Structure 1
Amino acid sequence: MATQLVATTISSETNKVHQFFNELESQKNTLIKCTDLFTKLNNHFSFLQDSISQKFQTLDSQFQSLESRHKETLESLANQENSIPERESSAAARIDEQKEAALAALRNPNPPSNIAAALKSLSRKMDAESLLMFVISRRKESIMLRPEIAAALKEAVDAPRLVLDAVEEYLTCKTEGKSGVTDKRWACGLLIQGLISESSVYSRTIVERAGSLLDLWKEQLDGEPEKGAAEMVMFLQMVVCFGLRSKVDDEYLRKSVMKFASRRDMAKVAASLEFGDKMIDIIDELVKNGKEMEAVYFASESGLTERFKPIELLNSYVRNYENNVATILKSGNNSQVATDEANTLELTSIKDVIKCVEDHKLESKFRLDKLKRRVSQLDKNKFERKNTSSFGSGSGSGSRPPRKRGGRGTSSSRPAKSAKTSVYPSSFSRLSRRNNLAPVHPSPIARYSAPLHYQSQNMLENSTAANPYAGTYGTSITQSPAGIGMAQQHYSYPVDNLGPSSYLSSSSYAGQTNYGQYDYGSAAPPTYPYTTDQTSYRG
């Protein structure tokens, strides 16, 4: 009995001890949870405090910046107000001077003796249609035209109105389906570039008229199944020139820039369109699409070279074209056709790299000696290949065995073939089909030795044949400039750059064998001295 009582007592005490420890464990877990929660809350409130402090500092700096800009703006307005009398007298004197020059040009029956004088005379007369026709007639002298157009527009009494008259003439011609639309588009592009090179203040009337023309132009472009690259660049330049950024949707501008990123002026235009942080996304997309060369120019124009390292982009571009060359050779079983195509791709790609490095002064970081030696080797191989092909085609015409003809009859029973009139001998036609020889007509390069620094059409818009120039505008032109496209692309690709399969590099930043300076700086290119939404208005 006593033993049972002791056992019961011990069991009861043991249960109490276990219960006590269980309660302690429960309280311990509660304390741990409370501690963790306190730590999280403390960290959260510390983060909020730091964030609020940073925002206050940002607001303080923004207030200070706003105050300084406010003072600068007031000072600028005061200076402008004080300079109004002087500017009025200067403008009046300038208008009188231009008026006298225009009257003198009208009284003078003799035509101007040179391009500069003719452009200035037409600008003073404010004759947009005649100005377009003159520019078109001198298209083969486009290198001389560009700087002279910018200077001539300064002689006009109202240069922006003259340019808008020319644009309206082009749009009217395009709407009515008249001939010469391509030439007028090219000429209008030169006029817009000449106007955009000078920072000016346009009146509200001019800006409103430019907006109306832009709406009409955009409506025409939206109705076309395929937009031309040159025309889209010209459209965007007009947006920049007259400060019409707010009239065009952001996505429309972004898609246009992305689609025609390889155009020579597109990097400058895109930087002037003020995409802000979206420019980073645009350059990222260019890199993802394998357009590292375009990304280098976009990053340089937009001031994003710290984020997008030019050297890294160039190395990526080199790896990509090397892989493409290897793929072409492998898929073509190292045949002569595949070898020629791969060499053409490699040659144009290397020239892209060399030109980009020289444009951005990266010679100290990106060595070009090896690439230039490779270019010399590829040029030599291509020259030897052309000579060998020409020699083989010339010597094989006499020793080629007669072609066997099918049919039931024999050669003795077959009637004689009737004579055919042909520009080229039949033996040449057979050889040209077999050896891909060009017809014996004057080379476009021989007739247009100077490169067209701003083509009106890209490669896809032009045909490989030379079209006769139908209309004349005061001078004799033997061929429409639209037929030059396969001979000289955006950067003067020679005909020899076309391989047997007509493969060309997708980029427009190369193609010149002399590695001259990138065309941003030559022949008075358009500059964008002001941002698109900062155009001032006057009533």
Structure 2
Amino acid sequence: MEDTRSVASLMDSTSSKIQQLQKAFAELESQRAVTLNLKWKELEEHFHGLERSLKRRFHELEDQEKEYETKTRKAQELLEKKKEAVEAKEKVSLERLQKKRDAAVFAINSALVKYNNPPPISITSVEDSPNKAFAADGTDENPDGTVQEAEISPEVKAYPQLLKLCGDMDSAGLHKFVSDNRKNLASLKEEIPAAFKAAANPASLVLDSLEGFYPVEAPNGDGKKDGNLLGMRRTCIMLMECLSVLLSGLDSNSLAVVLSEDVKQRAKSIAEGWSPLLGSLEMDACNGNSLEAHAFLQLLASFDIVSGFEEDGILKLIPMVSRRRQAAELCRSLGLSEKMPGVIEVLLKSGKQIDAVNLAFAFELTEQFPPVELLKSYLTDARRSTSQGGPGNASPAAQDEFNERELTGLKAVAKCVEEHNLEEQYPVEPLQKRIVQLEKAKAEKKRATEPTKPQTKRPRGAQPRVTDNHNNNNNNNKTGYGRVIPERYPQYVYDNRQFLNGPIMAAQAPPPPPPQTYTFSPAAAHGNFYGNCYQYQPPPPYFH
């Protein structure tokens, strides 16, 4: 700025300098002896031209300076806004990280308290070599190599049968016990890891329980159609998960004893037998919930045999279990955390945005995969398929299928938003309104398509009002009238009182009614019975 001011002051003094030069030139001309060819007007015009050129250039430089200052100010404001946004994100990330850290510390402390200070429970002595793995937990070892006492979690008292089944290495009995108590599966999963300590070899017990996972008679059969096979496979997965919980609380020496080389080799043989059977699985057919793929991956993780199999083959199985709640922890156990961006990309290409969002939150990849955008694209795909199946383009059955697909997608998105606390970024009120609208339309259509109950056709003409005192509380009688037994033919009421028989009473009898326009013979039609199962007796003849 000081340079600009100095240049401006010099330019303002140009006129005074020109006047001084004019005076000097006049004085010079008055004293000259020889006439000069140079005229003053030419000099004055030359200097004025220089002045105008300098002023024009000076104003251009001023405009450029102002423009540069404006751009600099805008850039500084933008940098300040970005800095504030980054600081806000850092604060939120630190708070979330602190919560996870506090939760992890609390879980670790709880586990330490649970496994280091449980009350001892006496159990039957078993062989020494496998149970030496639990000596560090407070067991007393005798010189003969047997274990007298083992510290078992107090929750095992709720199911003491588990201790006996594990101590006897009875895998079939363990399967049956879990199946019989499947209603209390949550408490079982807490007790089984502690009950495994009573087993001579917990890893071998779990491997024994895997027998029959693929039936010998039909190894490629569809397990979804066999309820017993489906339950058995779920139990196998749960037992492997419980073994992983037990192993996570052991030190390196104890872990090496439980997962010996023989055990690992046996587990690897089982996995190699299962691997070819997984080739027939399709990602779309599995819908992210394949028990076969889950069991294979859990076997690799629980027995630490991941290194014996190709990573690409393992990664191809992850989308087949992406919908299961253990998917994220399973990927961590398999050491695939760094490969999760590629897995999420595969899920997005296959239209599984919900599973991709869950894994993005589990592995903190929400910056790379924005959850709100993924959820909106999932709903867009669902609505696009629904719009293509409009009333003019699809049959009613196809339209019902499209509506059901949209309803399922809306519920999945609403649940995902609530689970990950995205209500501020993605309000669920419009989703809930659409869900209510689709469910109402579905209920109305179902009500309209239900077959109506046939109503009893009433006979024409005046009918007597019959009261059924025995069925006054019958809820099916909506009209308030007594139940009238429908008859195929009209009933005739015959007066069969015996005391009216005889000539005297016959003489006093009223004239007979006019003849009917049709004839009916009950005896010929139904024998000696009416349609209401009462026996028919012919009346005496009238005497005229």
> RCO greater where, 1 or 2, for CA within 8 Å and sep 6 or more?
1
Give the structure with higher Rg (CA): 2
